[in-house]
Amino acid sequence: MKKQKILIAEDDDLNRNNLTELLSLEGYEVHAVENGKEAMASFVEDKYDLVITDLKMPQGDGLELLKFVKDMNPDNIVIMMTGFGTVDSAVEAMKFGAFDYISKPMKDDLVKLTVSRALSFASLQEENVTLRDNLREKYDFGKMLGYSECMKTIFDTIEKVAKSDSTVIIYGESGTGKELVARAIHFNSDRKNFPLIPVNCGAIPEELLESELFGHEKGAFTGAIRNRLGRFELAQGGTIFLNEIGDMSPSLQVKLLRVIQEKQFERIGGVKTINADVRILAATNQNLEEAVAEKRFREDLYYRINVIPIHLPALRERGPDIAILANHFLQKFAQMKKKEVTHISPEAIACLLHYPWPGNVRELENLIEMLVVLKEGNDIVLEDLPLKIRQFKREAQTIGAIQIPEEGIDFNELVSQFEKDILLNALEKSGGVKNRAAKLLNLNRTTLVEKLKRLNISAEA
């Protein structure tokens, strides 16, 4: 993996050498100079992921360097170093685009934490630019692939809601691609040139999540040794994506409700009200209506975020997309791993089509990566699949037994008839009870009902 490059501008020899050694040991590629003029020359000659500059230097101080860097590349990240008595100047520099500041004497742990956070943000910016530059045609949003009718409906919805500023909530099982939908909405919106900031509400401890969202002031709590921008501030002008919002605590739900209603918030420990020019996208794998009924989720917040719901289908409900995605991942990993695996046999594909995919697209992607890494030949065959998938061989062979006559077949009619036979078989086994039939087929009840209506099949409730 390519090392991230850091440019240091510091006139104090001891500080410059210590900082260079510290960050080099962390695995970064570091270039250090002793004044602003040399830093500007180095910045022109090479590309840096991060610039760390002292505020007071000869031949071009830190503020001049900051303005120079931002003129050359507004997305470049700059951290200011400041001594006693100049903290106010460093805070002022943040208004001109500095990402953060480090006070002297510098503490190693704080330096490493600040640099790591800055480079993570830089990587996120670079990813945003890459995604923005690689937007695809209709029915192919970024990394989203799908030609099934249900996915075409999703893509149509994305296209319609992207240009609005309305709040969107994305429902779907884990692994269905909820974050990809959020990215597609953002990068097709008028906010696409501003940040998309994701927050996984289920992965961050409750006591830290409030600070992550809204930031904090120095001294707001034990360990708050400096000001910190929250995700809402980092997302200004752009979009914040609140993933797994159903896991958010009731107290934070109240504060989020206020941001949505009033478009304002304060940092923890702060008194200054900050306007939030941010579009909110949310996602959950939970049934929020049930969570509201069980008092786990606020009803008023639910109606605030449930403006435009998008329901992502599980992979098992996407039919032909399974084969399309499997071959897409095959090409991706064969190229990435430099393997000569080029084909998945029809028997193996048939098993993939019948496997229920509890882990959805993520599970399929992981499976194909494993198969490509372990495969020595060119073709992935039935015997290469794990036992839990091969057990669907008998059902798969039923499909493989179809013979195409010389005069050809009506594909759509044959598929419809096959689908009808499966549904009738499930209804027969369930005694005509739709809930039981849906469980037998690993379908949502609503999906089953839609299929029954489309194929003119009547059944008991």
Task: Write the CATH number for 370.
Answer: 1.10.8.60
Both 349 and 308 in one domain: the answer is no
**Mean pLDDT lowest among 98-102, 126-130, 233-237, 314-318:** 126-130
Q: Tell whether 361 is covered by a domain.
A: yes
Both 9 and 84 in one domain: the answer is yes
Structural domain boundaries, residue 392: 316-400
pLDDT at 314: 93
pLDDT at 127: 63
% of the chain exceeding 70 in pLDDT: 88
Both 274 and 338 in one domain: the answer is no
Both 378 and 438 in one domain: the answer is no
% of the chain exceeding 90 in pLDDT: 43
**Mean pLDDT lowest among 174-178, 442-446, 457-461:** 457-461
Q: Tell whether 460 is covered by a domain.
A: no
Task: Taking residues 296-316, report their average pLDDT.
Answer: 95
Examine the fold and report which residue of 313, 332, 352 is the final residue of a domain before the chain moves on. 313
Closest CA to 386 of 370, 365, 362: 370
Examine the fold and report which residue of 130, 164, 199 is the final residue of a domain before the chain moves on. 130
Both 292 and 158 in one domain: the answer is yes
For the entire predicted model, the pTM comes to 0.58
- Name which residue leads in pLDDT, 395 or 348: 348
Q: What is the 3-state secondary structure (H, E, C) of the chain?
A: CCCCEEEEECCCHHHHHHHHHHHHHCCCEEEEECCHHHHHHHHHHCCCCEEEEECCCCCCCHHHHHHHHHHHCCCCEEEEEECCCCHHHHHHHHHCCCCEEEECCCCHHHHHHHHHHHHHHHHHHHHHHHHHHCCCCCCCCCCCCCCCHHHHHHHHHHHHHHCCCCCEEEECCCCCCHHHHHHHHHHCCCCCCCCEEEEECCCCCHHHHHHHHHCECCCCCCCCCCCECCHHHHCCCCEEEEECHHHCCHHHHHHHHHHHHHCEECCECCCCCEECCCEEEEEECCCHHHHHHCCCCCHHHHHHHCCEEEECCCHHHCCCHHHHHHHHHHHHHHHHCCCCCCEECHHHHHHHHHCCCCCHHHHHHHHHHHHHHHCCCCEECHHHCCHHHHCCHHHHHHHHCCCCCCCCCCHHHHHHHHHHHHHHHHHHHCCCCHHHHHHHCCCCHHHHHHHHHHCCCCCCC
- Mean residue pLDDT of the chain comes to 85
Overall domain count for the chain: 4
**Mean pLDDT lowest among 38-42, 57-61, 255-259, 302-306:** 57-61
* pLDDT above 50 (res 136): no
* pLDDT above 70 (res 336): yes
For residue 265, the domain's CATH number is 3.40.50.300
For residue 103, the domain's CATH number is 3.40.50.2300
Both 119 and 14 in one domain: the answer is yes
- Name which residue leads in pLDDT, 131 or 322: 322
For residue 430, the domain's CATH number is 1.10.10.60
Examine the fold and report which residue of 130, 162, 187 is the final residue of a domain before the chain moves on. 130
Q: What is the CA radius of gyration of the chain?
A: 27
- Name which residue leads in pLDDT, 195 or 442: 195
* pLDDT tens column, 55-90: 888 888 888 898 888 877 777 899 988 876 566 676
- Name which residue leads in pLDDT, 207 or 277: 277
Q: Tell whether 135 is covered by a domain.
A: no
* pLDDT above 90 (res 392): no
Task: Taking residues 416-440, report their average pLDDT.
Answer: 78
Both 16 and 125 in one domain: the answer is yes
Task: Taking residues 396-402, report their average pLDDT.
Answer: 46
